[in-house]
């Protein structure tokens, strides 16, 4: 599964599972872009069937509902949804 890397300030490992059609995912990407932070994301709806299953399995380990966006900071902290407060907190503490 290929993640797209967005360049920026290194704030640790930030992984985001997103949907290309989801406006909340778009807002989350925009927030990270505006903060100028480096992150990696994948639009799960654009993956092939096998990769989609892998992505779902990975995501569900962190977020059993499998909802979008799911962000994982440093393989430790998971934030679900466009939750600006929690995202900023995760960036501070991670």
Partner 1 sequence: MSNQEITQERIQNLWKQLKQQAEAGGYHLNPDDEFTKDLVRSLIVNQQRYGYRACPCRLAAGEKASDLDIICPCDYRDADISEYGACYCGLYVSEDVVTGEKSIRMIPERRPAPEERAARTLSAKNVHKPLAMPVWRCRVCGYLCARDGPPEVCPICKAKKERFERFM
Chain contacts with partner 1 (rule: CB under 8 A): 19-26, 44-45, 52, 56, 64-68, 80-83
- Report the alpha-carbon distance of residue 32 to residue 29 in Å, rounded: 5
Q: Based on CB atoms, which residue is closest to partner 1, 11 or 28?
A: 28
- Report the alpha-carbon distance of residue 49 to residue 8 in Å, rounded: 31
> Which are the contacts of 19, defined by CB distance < 8 A and separation ≥ 6?
25, 43, 44, 45, 68, 69
Q: Based on CB atoms, which residue is closest to partner 1, 21 or 74?
A: 21
Q: Based on CB atoms, which residue is closest to partner 1, 23 or 92?
A: 23
Least Å from the CB of residue 45 to partner 1:
6
């Amino acid at each position: 599964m290929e993640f797209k890397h967005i360049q920026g300030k290194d704030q640790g490992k930030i992984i985001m599972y997103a949907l290309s059609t989801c406006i909340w995912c778009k807002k989350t990407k925009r927030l990270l872009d505006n903060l100028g932070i480096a992150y990696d994301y994948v639009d799960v709806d654009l993956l092939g069937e096998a990769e989609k299953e892998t992505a779902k399995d990975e995501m569900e380990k962190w977020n059993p509902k499998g909802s979008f966006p799911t962000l994982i900071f440093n393989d430790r902290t998971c934030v679900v949804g466009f939750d600006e407060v929690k995202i900023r907190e995760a960036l501070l503490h991670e």
